[in-house]
Amino acid sequence: MYFWGDYYDGFKIKTPELIYDFEDKLIDISFGLKHALSLLDNGKVYSWGDGSYGELGQGKSFMIPSPKEIKFFTEEKIQIVKVEAGSRHSLCLDTLG
């Protein structure tokens, strides 16, 4: 996954830079105000960025600099098909709609 522009801590990346190399195929990604979500073809959901309002789904976390799996969906055997990041919230759509 390549990124450029304003990073969540104010750091600017002026040319495309590889910020994370997922082992599986990336099938959906969404960027909120200060955080992001991604969905891989293995069904795993990852989040990173500023989680001050709980939007990362990682429990109490404020800043996660690189993608980290949200274990809840794997542990609960919930199959996610779409991710959306809002300004201070996140949404994951499962196979049941």
Output the DSSP codes for 9-63: TS-EEEEEEE----SS-EEEEEE-SSEEEEEETTS-EEEEEE-TTSTTSSSS-SE
Q: What is the pLDDT of residues 7-42, one digit of tens each?
A: 656 667 788 888 788 889 999 999 998 899 999 999
| pLDDT of 8 | 57
Work out the mean pLDDT of the chain and round it to a whole number.
90
Percent of the chain with pLDDT over 70: 95
Q: What is the pLDDT of residues 52-70, one digit of tens each?
A: 999 999 987 788 888 999 9
SS3 75: helix
Q: What is the pLDDT of residues 42-53, one digit of tens each?
A: 999 999 999 999
| Residue 62 CB coordination number (10 Å) | 10
